Amino acid sequence: MSEAGDGGAGSPPPPDVEKTIAVRQRGHATRQDLAEILQPMFDDMEQRLEARLAANMEQIFAEMARVTAIAVPASVLNVTIHSLNSNVTDRNRALGPIVSLVTGKHILETSKSIAELSNLCGSNLNDHLQAMGLSTNGTVREKQLRICREMGIVSLE
């Protein structure tokens, strides 16, 4: 930095800035009683964390039970729909819609025919992927194959 830009070059640092961070750290590291000083702080921190965790555990368990109550039946239903969709040979027949593992509701975007799904591109394709909870990364072909796998479709051709 130039002398003009450092705001007081040549003047001594204020008294409270005499020691640099490195000097202070060296002083702490060489103290023999450092463990005795820090241990009570760590113990207090651990007690506070345990108290916060204990207070939230009931909510965590309730949320886990709620999510599991939706996700497990939805997953079983999706496996059934996946199996039924894998037998569809008519490209214009509507496929069985899968359900959201979060809400348990049918994802309407998935009740399209194979022909409709194969024509998806651009933002429509991304909208379908997002509705299904799938990644929107990749090429159009990769995205279409991702939908196929999720829906139980053997091929879009």
Residue 120: what pLDDT?
81
Residue 81: what pLDDT?
92
DSSP the chain: --TTTTTSTTSPPPGGGSS-HHHHHHHHHT-TTHHHHHHHHHHHHHHHHHHHHHHHHHHHHHHHHHHHHHHHHHHHHHHHHHHHHTT---TTSBPPPPB-TTT-SB-GGG--BHHHHHT--HHHHHHHHHHTT----S-HHHHHHHHHHHHT-S---
Residue 2: what pLDDT?
44
Residue 128: what pLDDT?
84
Residue 16: what pLDDT?
58
Residue 79: what pLDDT?
92
Q: What is the pLDDT along the chain (157 residues), one digit of tens a residue?
A: 444 445 555 676 655 555 666 677 676 667 677 778 888 889 999 999 999 888 889 889 999 999 899 989 999 999 999 999 998 888 899 899 988 888 888 888 787 888 888 888 888 888 888 888 889 999 998 998 888 888 888 777 7
